[in-house]
Structure 1
Amino acid sequence: MAIDLVLRRDWNARAPRGDYTQLDSTKGVKVHYTGGRVDPAIVSDHSRCVALVRSIQGYHMDGNGWIDIGYTFVACPHRKVFEGRGLYHLPAANGPGLNAGHYAVLGLVGDSGLLQPPDGVLHGILDAVQYVRDHGRAGKEIKGHRDGYATDCPGEPLHSWVRRGAPRPGGGDGTPEPGAPPFPGRLLKYPPVMRGQDVRTWQARMRERGFDLAADGAYGAESREVCVRFQREQGVAADGIVGPVTWRLAWEAPPG
């Protein structure tokens, strides 16, 4: 799938307050998250993604005093990629002395609210990575913001994905991998108890992985406890919620 690029004029970006510093080439890309709360409602409402990107630009320009949004591109849950500073322009988000080394790509997840990156965000990040490789003289590196800089960014779920080699969800073209069911589209969490075939499918997979858990289709306290243990094993946010990342890891992660 070609990149679904949202140009600056299409998201009503403010004009930069000065001239960008030229960036001729980079070693690759640094991946970021917002560092704040992201409303989970953006997953079903793209207009909220647009509003969030505009608010990030405003904070960077008015709060940080930067000439523009600090990122090269921004990926949202709808697999759309917002043009930030764009190609051949020095980003500002990687940290002092580090901006010339990598382009900066933000995934629209945060440290609360929407924590687990939906597949659309991961696809969008990788679409942006391929775009800067094809058109922006970027190298092969994909790293997290925290790699070489003291920060929590891009958060545990995204950084765990980066450490695993930033795989394309479901394989190269976005189709589900054999044996890995598609994410059911809702977060499995407790309380209250959630019931359904999707719960039973996840519970059965946890049993296959060696956890003592009944596959009864009811996601309660016992399921949440198993989920937290599994998430800690995998180095992702241990929130007890089965989101897209935790669901995918249940099938893709090597046995513990």
Structure 2
Amino acid sequence: MAIDLVSRADWGARAPRGSYTNLTSTKGIKVHYTGGRVDPAIVNDHAKCVAMVKSIQSFHMDGNGWLDIGYSMAACPHRKVFVGRGPGHLPAANGPGLNSGHYAVLGLVGNSGLVKPPDGMLDGIVDAIEYLRDKGGAGKEIKGHRDGYSTDCPGAALYEWVKKGAPRPGGQPGPTDPDPVRHPRFPGRLLKYPPVMRGEDVRTWQAQMDKRGWTIDVDGAYGPGSREVCRDFQQEQRLGVDGVVGKITWDAAWEAPIG
């Protein structure tokens, strides 16, 4: 089943107050719950899910003073996944100094009322994890908010599920491997110019671009020539054109079809 996304326009999100801080990759995902009471009636009324996500955004913006809702995505009992800040953007919900390490995915359960996530919500959280891996460079880690931050979040029931590896309901496998070993793994640093960056990771990427037919010096030095090849390749593949080899551009060098 493809992910059932609820776009920001569809749930009536307010516009953010400013520009997001961008992310090219993270260690993985941190799972959250609301921390308050969730009306069990949301299980039978999706409109209540929409209203809850809107109220969370208002609290984060008007109460916390954040530029937007703090979560990357949110999953409801109906296996629908709300786009919060979305992939490629720094969340705000993980805690000071912890947001760049993981995206934040909310399950619409609380500490009273609806406290046990229904199967549709668990599937939705897994759908969100796989989406953030595919679109946002999220790594393998699946953690609870409490891992590294003093909080009860994401609650006992959801945290036990997280500790089991976030399996899908009914014994189905959990999230797919975000980075199966099909090619050299992204080195973890952005390759960019200026200044000239040197290393075996640069040489590896240059050698692959040379194999793809680009005219490039395979010398392990990422300078203006490499940047121009990167820009042309990004434009060809309809990626963000910035001349920087991040995880998406790195993976595309091996995975994108040639010609």
Per the TM superposition, whether the score is higher than 0.5 is yes
The equivalent of 1:149 in structure 2 is 149
Report if the CA contact (8 A) 2:33-2:153 is conserved: yes
Q: Which runs of 4+ in 1 moved over 4 A?
A: none
Answer yes or no: is 1:6 the counterpart of 2:6.
Answer: yes
1:163 aligned partner, one-letter code: K
**Residue-by-residue CA offset, 1:199-243 (whole Å, 9 max, x unaligned):** xxxxxxxxxxxxxxxxxxxxxxxxxxxxxxxxxxxxxxxxxxxxx
Structure 2 gaps of 5+ residues are: 175-259
Deviations 1:6-54 (A, max 9, x none): 0000000000001100111001100000000000000000000000000
| DSSP-derived class of the 1:135 partner | helix
C-alpha distance in 2, partners of 1:96/1:159? 21
Structure 1: any 5+ residue segments left out of the alignment? 175-256
Which residue does 1:77 correspond to in 2? 77
Q: Percent identity?
A: 76
2:30 aligns with 30
Partner of 2:103: 103
Give the drift of 1:166.
1.0
What is the distance in 2 between the residues matched to 1:17 and 1:136? 22
Matching residue's letter, 1:98: L
1:83-117, CA deviations, whole angstroms, 9 ceiling, x for partnerless residues? 00001100000000100000000000000000000
Q: Secondary structure at the match of 1:157?
A: helix
**Separation in structure 1 between the aligned mates of residue 66 and residue 45 of structure 2, nearest angstrom:** 29
3-state DSSP of counterpart to 1:78:
coil
Q: 1:171-225 deviations in whole A, cap 9, x for unaligned?
A: 3389xxxxxxxxxxxxxxxxxxxxxxxxxxxxxxxxxxxxxxxxxxxxxxxxxxx
Q: Deviations over 1:61-81 (max 9, x none)?
A: 000000000000000000000
- Rounded to whole Å, the distance in 1 between the matches of 2:128 and 2:85 is 13
In 1: Cα distance, 2:98 partner to 2:20 partner: 16
Is contact 2:161–2:167 with CA below 8 Å preserved after alignment? yes
Shift of 1:170: 0.8
What is residue 131 of structure 2 aligned with on the other side?
131
Aligned partner letter, 2:31: V
Structure with higher Rg: it is 2
Alpha-carbon distance between aligned partners in 2 of 1:91 and 1:66, rounded to the nearest angstrom: 10
How is 1:99-248 mapped onto 2 (pairs within 5 angstroms)?
A: 99-172=99-172
Q: AA paired with 1:40?
A: P
Amino acid at match of 2:114: L
Q: Distance in 1 between matches of 2:54 and 2:22?
A: 23
3-state SS of paired residue (1:41): helix
2: CA distance between counterparts of 1:145 and 1:41?
25
Describe the SS at the equivalent of 1:170. helix
Q: What does residue 19 of structure 2 align with?
A: 19
TM-score norm. by structure 1 comes to 0.67
What count of residue pairs does the alignment treat as equivalent? Answer: 174
Query: 1:143 is aligned with what amino acid?
Result: K
Contact 2:88 2:135 in 1 (8 A): no
Match of 1:92 in 2: 92
TM-score for the superposition, normalised by structure 2: 0.66
